[in-house]
Structure 1
Amino acid sequence: MFMRLPNLGQGGPSFNTPHGHSIGGEAFQGERLRASVQAVVLAGGVGSRLRPWTDSVPKPLLPMLDRTLLEQVVWGMPEGVVDEIVVAGGYRVDQITEHFAAKVEGIDVTIVEETEPLGTGGALANCKDVVSGRFACFNGDVISSLRIQDVLSLHEKNGGVGTLALWEVEDPTRFGIVGLDASQRVIQFKEKPKPEEVFSNLINAGSYVLEEDVFDVMPAGRHSLERDVFPRLAERGELNGLPFEGYFIDAGTPSSWSDGVEACIAHDRFYSGAVVDGSWCADGVAPTGVRHGGSMFGRGVAAQGTTIQRSTLLDGVHVGAGSNLNGVLAGAGSVIGTGCDLRNVVLGPGAIVEDGERLVDERRSAP
């Protein structure tokens, strides 16, 4: 099942800049490519690594500064390059549909429902009826400096069925690794290799340009792009790879979520609020008497005499005096008592931490 949500004109958060130049960031100043494309966002996962945040809200709708995570994923796609966003949604897809029906302006959005888990390949194949020609595709929690027009340019130059954005890492064993030849064609692709199997430090960065021909090599049912599709295309010589520099974050874990917040702050990926001493504040000012950095403060956050580092406090969070927070994700309306010490903790909306509690690597829901 899919639902097409038209450009609705005026509204709240949007894929347009205030001046209508691009979907999220700088306008495209370079060469024009041959045609605009659709962009598919694979956003069907449950987001279990961010629970209990995602118990009631799908990961694509989690707020990262003044955007949703999904809007941060497509930030910066230039006007004239992307003409429609296709969201492959599964978990709580009704909320995603409702959000974008009410909020989006400036670009068409189509929601394709995944009624059962299909994997990255199956989720994309599920969009076959609404995608045509050449299209871009993004994993639903990737925040990066990638210029999709650069991927499109290499793809047009080399041809083939797909072109992958690539990122260099020191330890590639947790990722899909890619080997390139001199013309930037992919000659090897292996998902999550053992240390002795590593042949490259370039990893799949979760952003692609694909032709609709990719659907011809996809098996039926649940399958993986990384394990079942890309290796096959590489063997056939129909896959290219483009390394890029800047920043790349998979914001699907508590720690990497904080990395994403810091990257969005550092690169001005917001329209409202203000950055104060390295933290983004929805109200334009930081809570009084708080030592902080690399954090995100929603509206109405109350805290005094506390230290808050690399943490996200959503609307209405209250933190008692003398508490120290590091790597904390606090859901809206949660309450942290006085004299608490929290490290790498995820609190669901309305969760309560009693005075003096010490929590490390824990998750807590509302009582």
Structure 2
Amino acid sequence: MSRERLTITLKDEILKALDSQIDGQKLRNRSHAIEYYLSKSLMAKAAKVLILAGGKAVYFESEKKKLPKAMVKVAGKPLLEQVLLKLKRFKFTEVWISVGEGGEIIKKHFEDGSDLGLNINYLDQPAKCKGTAEALLQAKDAVGSGSFLLLYGDVLSDIDYSDLLEYHRSQRGEICTMALTVAETVSMWGLAQLNGSRIVSFEEKPKIPRTFSRLVNAGIYAMEPEIFKYIKKDEAKLESGIFPRLAEEGKLYGYPFKGLWLDISNSAAYKQALSQVKNLSNL
């Protein structure tokens, strides 16, 4: 992303307000802060969203049947519907959903998305899709030539999608910005070591972590199309190959956030998630 050097004059009160927001991590300095807030104010929120909702269907006791994980109910609505409604509130309306086993259930429920005020299209993952990298590569033409969001369909959080995207756009040399949350047990997720705004090390589900970090991959990303240059045809998962490589090259950024984060990876995780949520009115 090219940049041009400018000289500007600002009122003292604006500079004081700006300086109060600089923390050395999310906003590194005045130049970075100005670019971030200008981008957030002026850049159109026209980025496309890709949701990976493939994988094997799971039997949920509460539903008495096998379902795609994205379709299990949380607070009275399918998890994926909660995510889509949240995207609509942040004005992300162009959505692609990558589906696998049980994909017809998702298509039938949401159709073209018009009932939710969205434009939804679908990609059918191959029967033997190896993982997230292959599913993302399949969507190369769909996401277009600009920044896009990538979401895992079995994750629900109260993250600010717009802020994530603008934070990502404000970085230098960015290819991917990974949302990060805190977990006590890190062996279940990808573990990130953060230095400033950059992720300098990424380990997928480490049994013996190489770092004391408790920041884990939240399954929510902002990306540039350059990500596709890193995915080989036989690549399976982003977590095991692509992310460690980006971290080594200094092109993987971290976006830590606080608040609700639910990972519905299996029936047991679903039960635990329900115990954390009384209502989702704040999402």
Structure 1 length-normalised TM: 0.60
Cα distance in 1 for partners of 2:45, 2:277 equals 29
Aligned to 2:251: 238
Asked if the contact 2:60/2:66 (under 8 Å) is kept, the reply is no
- 2:197 counterpart of 1:187: no
Q: Which of residues 167, 170, 182 in structure 2 aligns to 1:168?
A: 182
- Name which of structure 1's ranges 62-71 and 49-58 shifts more when overlaid on structure 2: 49-58
TM-superposed CA distance for 1:75, in Å, is 4.1
Structure 1 residues 199 and 263: alpha-carbon distance in aligned structure 2, compared to 1, 3 A threshold: closer
Structure 1 residues 96 and 201: alpha-carbon distance in aligned structure 2, compared to 1, 3 A threshold: same
Structure 2 unaligned spans of 5+: 1-39
- 2:106 counterpart of 1:124: no
TM-superposed CA distance for 1:167, in Å, is 0.7
Alignment of 1:273-284 (within 5 A): none
TM-superposed CA distance for 1:156, in Å, is 1.5
Aligned to 2:102: 92
SS in 2 for 1:82: coil
TM-superposed CA distance for 1:263, in Å, is 4.7
Structure 1 residues 238 and 213: alpha-carbon distance in aligned structure 2, compared to 1, 3 A threshold: same
Q: Which of residues 161, 166, 175 in structure 2 aligns to 1:153?
A: 166
Asked if the contact 2:59/2:67 (under 8 Å) is kept, the reply is no
Return the letter of the residue paired with 2:77: R
CA deviation vs aligned residue, 1:185-243 (integer Å, no higher than 9, x gap): 11111111132523411100110001111111001135101111111111111111011
Structure 1 unaligned spans of 5+: 1-29, 271-367
TM-superposed CA distance for 1:76, in Å, is 2.2
Cα distance in 2 for partners of 1:56, 1:190 equals 31
Question: Percent sequence identity over matched residues?
Answer: 29
Aligned to 1:257: 270
- Name which of structure 1's ranges 251-260 and 165-174 shifts more when overlaid on structure 2: 251-260
Cα distance in 1 for partners of 2:113, 2:215 equals 37
Return the letter of the residue paired with 2:271: S
| Structure number with higher relative contact order (C-alpha < 8 Å, ≥ 6 residues apart) | 2
SS in 2 for 1:138: strand
TM-superposed CA distance for 1:56, in Å, is 4.7
Structure 1 residues 135 and 61: alpha-carbon distance in aligned structure 2, compared to 1, 3 A threshold: same
Aligned to 2:215: 202
Alignment of 1:1-367 (within 5 A): 31=41, 33-48=43-58, 50=60, 53=63, 56-77=66-87, 79=89, 81-101=91-111, 104-105=114-115, 106-116=117-127, 117-132=129-144, 133-159=146-172, 160-182=174-196, 184-268=197-281
Return the letter of the residue paired with 1:39: V
Asked if the contact 1:49/1:252 (under 8 Å) is kept, the reply is no
Q: Please identify the structure whose Cα radius of gyration is greater.
A: 1
Cα distance in 2 for partners of 1:209, 1:42 equals 14
Asked if the contact 1:77/1:147 (under 8 Å) is kept, the reply is no
Asked if the contact 2:88/2:118 (under 8 Å) is kept, the reply is no
Cα distance in 1 for partners of 2:209, 2:274 equals 34
Higher strand proportion (structure 1 or 2): 1
Structure 1 residues 102 and 177: alpha-carbon distance in aligned structure 2, compared to 1, 3 A threshold: closer
Asked if the contact 1:172/1:198 (under 8 Å) is kept, the reply is no
Aligned to 1:277: none
Cα distance in 2 for partners of 1:248, 1:165 equals 11
Cα distance in 2 for partners of 1:154, 1:250 equals 23
Higher helix proportion (structure 1 or 2): 2
